């Protein structure tokens, strides 16, 4: 199974990630975003950044998690090469996720596209009849 695919969009970047679980689809959504930002094949995974988010819906959880990762990239001047979900659960208020992003200090020659934000427009989380999870995300570039 593919981890993600990019779809044509007039101005921004639209992608769809896949997984046999929500957690795997979220990890692949993060990887798709990282792939837009930098050459992930060349980004080392020397440093770990822990991420924790809560949200009322799974769509909000995806947006919050990817936005937090984007913020961490910017504030720490890093590129990430992967994200691993360590915990995902339903809570009273909705959903919660914990994970770890792996990366290294940003090297300009590895940079590709500046991503301004993760948008709520077109964001969608769905589980297909075959059990696979799909996450649709639009990035503002």
What is the tens place of the pLDDT at every residue in 49-92?
Answer: 999 999 999 999 999 999 999 999 999 999 999 999 999 999 99
- Mean pLDDT to the nearest integer, 108-136: 95
- Mean pLDDT to the nearest integer, 4-24: 93
Residue 1 has what pLDDT?
Answer: 80
Q: Which residues fall within 8 angstroms of residue 45, CB to CB, at 6 or more apart?
A: 81, 82, 102, 103, 104
What is the tens place of the pLDDT at every residue in 20-60?
Answer: 999 999 999 999 999 999 999 999 999 999 999 999 999 99
For residue 8, pLDDT over 90 is answered with no
Residue 41 has what pLDDT?
Answer: 96
Which residue ranges form the domains of the chain, and what is each CATH number? 4-140 (3.55.10.10)
Query: What are φ and ψ of residue 33, in 5° steps?
Result: -65, -45
Distance CA 95, CA 88 (A): 7
Rg, the chain, Cα only: 14
Closest to 26 (Cα-Cα) out of 75, 91, 82, 70:
82
């Amino acid at each position: 199974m593919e981890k993600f695919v990019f779809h044509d969009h007039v101005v921004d970047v639209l992608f769809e990630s896949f997984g046999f679980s929500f957690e795997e689809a979220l990890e692949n959504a993060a990887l798709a975003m990282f792939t837009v930002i930098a050459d992930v094949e060349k980004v080392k995974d020397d440093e770990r950044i822990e991420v924790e988010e809560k949200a009322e819906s799974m769509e909000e959880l995806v947006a919050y998690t990817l936005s937090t990762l984007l913020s961490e990239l910017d504030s720490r001047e890093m590129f990430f090469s992967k994200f691993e979900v360590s915990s995902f659960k339903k809570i009273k208020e909705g959903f919660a996720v914990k994970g770890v992003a792996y990366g290294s200090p940003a090297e300009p020659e590895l940079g590709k596209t500046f991503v301004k934000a993760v948008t709520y427009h077109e964001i969608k989380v769905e589980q297909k009849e075959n059990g696979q999870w799909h996450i649709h995300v639009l990035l503002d570039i």
